[in-house]
């Protein structure tokens, strides 16, 4: 897990994103350690600057979707590999494993019925942070910083969608991102499909406290599917 995190931080740094420096990943007496730069967090939040950092990160693209190795989304394994089709990657590498775990825990739904929500959507394969919620960003006197990534190449909308979960980011962030690289109108529907991944992950990791949110999100997506069919 720590090696995957270090790899992700290195990828973000190589793309020009501000991250803590990694000094070492090692195991001693059966205990793994990731040694990183200590950050002076708690500075004034510059949300437009964070949006510009993210838009610049997303302009780093690849010819295919995915990542060369598997990594982690929180405490859950995140399968990667490569796929030339975004619809296939999202459903097979992201939603299907989470839906399978949720089904074993008693929450089942028709995942295939939602595939039409990405029909015809062909985004560039942008380098993503992958776990972009409020707890994985911070502000130092030098500016915004990103940490604890779950990197892969995917639709940049997936990063933006997660920023709207768990309290969301301020309006200034979204306005600055739109100014740097506007999203098209379909984002308003697709973001719910992208956030289903994270809601299912929380359901699978933390239990029934997320069941109501998962049910409501699947119902919303099912209704959207009917609207476009």
**Domain residue ranges in the chain:** 40-228
First to last CA, the chain: 41
Confidence tier at 75 by pLDDT (50, 70, 90): very high
The pLDDT assigned to 145 comes to: 98
At 106-160, the pLDDT tens digits run 999 999 999 999 999 999 999 999 999 999 999 999 999 999 999 999 999 999 9
The pLDDT assigned to 228 comes to: 85
Confidence tier at 222 by pLDDT (50, 70, 90): very high
Catalytic positions, written as ranges: 131
Structure tokens belonging to residue 197: 């991944």
Can you list the pairs that 200-204 forms with residues at least 24 positions away whose Cβ atoms lie under 8 Å? 200/95, 200/98, 200/99, 200/101, 200/102, 201/73, 201/74, 201/76, 201/98, 203/102, 203/105, 203/107, 204/76, 204/98, 204/101, 204/102, 204/105
What DSSP line would sit under 56-91, residue for residue?
HHHT-EESSEEESS-EEETTEEE--EEES-HHHHII
Percent of the chain having pLDDT more than 70? 100
The pLDDT assigned to 174 comes to: 98
Confidence tier at 2 by pLDDT (50, 70, 90): very high
CB-count exposure of residue 147 (10 Å: 0-12, 13-18, 19+): buried
- Give the containing element (helix H, strand E) for 139: strand 137-140
Range with the lowest mean pLDDT among 10-14, 30-34, 58-62, 122-126?
Answer: 30-34
- Listed in sequence order, the DSSP H helices in 139-186 are 156-163, 171-180
Which residue's entry shows tokens 């990534």? 149
The pLDDT assigned to 170 comes to: 97
DSSP structure class, residue 186:
T
Show the CA angle centred on residue 79, arms to residues 76 and 83, nearest 5°. 155
Confidence tier at 229 by pLDDT (50, 70, 90): confident
pLDDT, averaged across the chain: 97
Range 13-36 average pLDDT: 95
According to CATH, the superfamily of the domain at 40-228 is: Aminoglycoside phosphotransferase (APH), C-terminal lobe (3.90.1200.10)
Per-residue pLDDT at 212 exceeds 90: yes
CB-count exposure of residue 96 (10 Å: 0-12, 13-18, 19+): middle
Per-residue pLDDT at 198 exceeds 90: yes
């Amino acid at each position: 897990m720590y090696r995957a995190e270090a790899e992700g931080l290195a990828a973000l740094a190589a793309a020009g994103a501000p991250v803590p420096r990694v000094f070492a990943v090692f195991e001693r007496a059966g205990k793994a350690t990731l040694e990183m730069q200590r950050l002076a967090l708690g500075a004034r939040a510059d949300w437009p600057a964070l949006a510009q950092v993210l838009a610049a990160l997303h302009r780093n693209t690849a010819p295919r979707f995915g990542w060369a190795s598997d990594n982690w989304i929180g405490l859950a394994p995140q399968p990667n590999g490569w796929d030339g089709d975004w619809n296939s990657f999202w459903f097979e590498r992201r939603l299907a494993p989470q839906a399978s775990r949720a089904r074993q825990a008693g929450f089942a739904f028709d995942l295939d019925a939602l595939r039409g929500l990405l029909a015809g959507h062909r985004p560039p394969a942008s380098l993503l942070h992958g776990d972009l919620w409020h707890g994985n960003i911070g502000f130092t006197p030098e500016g915004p910083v990103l940490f604890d990534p779950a990197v892969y190449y995917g639709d940049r909308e997936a990063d933006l969608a997660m920023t709207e979960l768990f309290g969301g980011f301020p309006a200034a962030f979204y306005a600055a991102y739109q100014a740097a690289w506007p999203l098209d109108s379909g984002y308003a529907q697709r973001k719910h499909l992208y956030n289903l991944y994270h809601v299912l992950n929380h359901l699978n990791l933390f239990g029934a406290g997320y069941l109501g949110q998962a049910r409501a999100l699947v119902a919303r997506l099912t209704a959207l599917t009917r609207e476009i069919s």
